[in-house]
A and B are shown apart, each in its own frame.
Chain A
Amino acid sequence: MLVLGLAFVLAITGTFVFAYRAGRQARRIRAENEPIRAWMSIPFIAHTRHVPAPVLFQAIGLQAEPHDRRSIRHIAHDLKRPVPDLMAQVQRAVDAAAQASGNQPR
C-alpha cells in the first residue's frame, strides 16, 4: 500500500516535472532560430527561415530548382567547397533576405 502510494506520487510528480520542462523549453525555442545543419536542403532551409528558396540558390551560385533536395553537404561536395563555408554563405543569404524584407534575421 505504502509502496503503491509512493509510486503514484512519484508518477504524478514526474508528469508535472516533464510537462513543465517541455513547456519552458517550448517557450524558449519560440524566440530562437532554427540552426542550419549540413543535412538540410536549400528548400528546407528556405522554409524554416521563411525566405524564398531561389534567393538562397542564387546566393551559392546555383540555378533555382525547387526539386533540388540535395543536402548542404552534398552540394558542398559537388561544388568542391568546404561544408562550413557553404553553411556560412547560406546563413549570410538568409540574414540578407530577412533584412531586405524588413524582418529580423531568423
Chain B
Amino acid sequence: MSDQLLSAVSQYGAPALFLVVAIAAVGVPLPITLLLIVAGSMVAQGAMNLWWVIVAASAGSILGDQAGYAIGRWGGQAAVTRLSRWFGKGVDLQAVEAKARAWGGPGIFITRWVLSPLGPWINLASGTAAFPWRQFVLWDALGEITGAAIYISVGRIFSDRVMAMDAVLGDVTWAIAALLAAVILGYQLVAYLRRARA
C-alpha cells in the first residue's frame, strides 16, 4: 500500500499528494510523514514546485479534517463508532473526546503535526463535542500548514536521505511532544508553588 502511494506521489506529484493526505486525515492510517518528506526531496530534485506541494498537502489535510469534524458533528456517535471500528483499533474515543475538550484549540494545532496519529480522532471528537467550527478551522489550518512546511522542508534539505529522515523524525516528534509536556507541567508546577507560598 505504502509503495503504491509513494510511487503515485512520485509520478503524479501534487494532485496525488492532495488526495492521499485528504484520505489520511479522515482516519485511514497512511505514511503521511514519509510522503511529505519524499515530496520535499522531489522539490529539491526540481520535479515539484515547493509552494504547490505545501498548498496541496495543507489543503488536502484541511479538507480531510473538515470531513472528520463534519462526521463527528452531524454523523453522530454511531458514525464515529463505525469509523473508529474500521480504522482506529484500540482508540478510546471517550478519552480522546475528553482530551479534545481539555486541550481546545492548541490541542488541535499540536495534533496536526506533533501528535499526528491522534489528529483524525481529535477531528471526530471536536465534532461530537461541538467545538466552534471557525476556531476549529483556524487552529486546523495553522497546524496543517506548519506541519506540511516542516516535513516538506526536512525532505528538501535531506533530499538524499528520505528513508533515514523518516526513521529519525519519529523520535524527534516524540522529543518535541515530551518537551511541550514538560513546559506545560513546569508552568503548572511553578503556578502551584506560587499559590502555596502566597
Contacts and interface: CB of A to CB of B under 8 A. Distances in A.
Q: Is chain A's binding surface mostly helix, strand, loop or mixed?
A: helix
Contacts of A12: 178, 182
B144 to A, nearest CB: 23
B145 to A, nearest CB: 24
A11 interface: yes
Q: How large is the interface on A (under 10, 10 to 19, 20 to 34, 35 or more residues)?
A: 35 or more
A1 B164 contact: no
Nearest to B186: A8
Interface stretch (B40-48, B85-93, B94-102): B40-48
A18 B185 contact: no
Interface stretch (A25-33, A54-62, A84-92, A94-102): A25-33
Which DSSP category, helix, strand, loop or mixed, fits chain B's interface? Answer: helix
A26 B11 CA distance: 29
Contacts of B7: 38-41, 70-71, 73-74
B198 to A, nearest CB: 15
Contacts of B188: 4
Interface in A1-31: 1, 4-5, 7-8, 11-12, 14-15, 17-19, 21-22, 25-26, 29
Contacts of B6: 37, 39-40, 71
A50 interface: yes
24 contacts: A4-B185, A7-B185, A8-B186, A11-B181, A11-B182, A12-B182, A14-B174, A15-B175, A18-B175, A25-B164, A26-B168, A29-B164, A34-B160, A37-B3, A39-B6, A40-B6, A43-B45, A44-B10, A44-B42, A47-B160, A48-B41, A69-B10, A69-B47, A70-B11
Interface of A: 1, 4-5, 7-8, 11-12, 14-15, 17-19, 21-22, 25-26, 29, 32, 34-35, 37-41, 43-44, 47-50, 69-71, 73-74
